[in-house]
Structure 1
């Protein structure tokens, strides 16, 4: 009985395989099977849509990050190249400016300006070998900057008018009142020893007076401002706006030559 059932099962299985193969061969030729396949595909499209959309978005995000990384690397490279070009241009411009300034007789380059003595002194690249001696007036844009305080063979030190230790006799051109200008060591310049009763107007010209043999008269120093302060006793101090650009000193003009006998001991460069 068991052998008969096994034989039938084999026969049934074989028949089913044959029927399946026949149906498979006939399916592409039947519209009903094509319709069933299209229907199943349409049904399956909806559950597959989120996965397909997620895949597309993931691919776009991946491409975006790749492009952003490439752009950032390119930008970093361009910034580095720009920095190198600007540095090369600055060095070239500074070298060209140095050569141009060195060509002009009577002009000197500022080679050192220490932060601790910013408003007191600067060092220049001209010295006694260039005819620069102690006491020589130093100008910038036609206005007094200071005086040579010491000089050596190829460099000198210039004491600025904003130094608290340098006092310059001056005259107010419009009124011919005499006074002295001195710095406060912090960038300020003041007209001193003017009686309180005197009245001045803003913008009056201050220039060197014919008092000292070391400084020629008539060198412009600056102009009066309206700011005043009491300097004690019966005198009033007036702030002077320097005509020279004391915050940006690159090239200075040495005005004539002082007497060599007045030379002081030089300083170390």
Structure 2
């Protein structure tokens, strides 16, 4: 087993166990613990419990690695002492979780370098939707899989028959701006989906459930594993002008379709992304 495969096994095992935990807590009933960026952006007690569980498991398995989690930030320094950092979203799609909409996931990725999408090198990642029993996995150079089945992005799809995914900010004023941009894209694409989990959106590009995806304002934990899974399935994952995806903008699609999406976003004044 290579180093990347070992990291992937750790990510996959822990994400699966955390997925079972949050599913069990959801069946017991959800309790809101706090709000984050706005009243609409909630944290449940299960978010915090899941992150603590994941962090404890990772520290036991990889004590020299760093940790960056949505709820608790860093543990042992941003990069630890090994140069690797685990970037974790304990429940991606918390509002879906709150409403019992079956589109939420545990996302765990491990990166080399600073935990910043603009500069990191993602090595392995797992995204687990426990409701559907779907385990998306990828390692750098090792391809992407859904429950062991190899994934490949949809290729050669014309924009007018392409299904586009995106997401919105929890801040109302930003949502209005983002919706205006999206409205201008609707005449070009087949339709749009707003699923409510960036990790699952990126995995949907990998599995062919979406043809393209873009979003602004994502945090590192929202995109780390999903972006690697999409890229390993053959998607181009990038910001503008071929730059790496960042917290400001991420796009994912087959390269020709991504070029169309990028052009349209720039035409709508998205070159300085809204997020």
TM-score normalised by the shorter chain: which range applies? under 0.3
- What TM-score, normalized by structure 2, do the two folds share? 0.24
Structure with larger Rg: 1
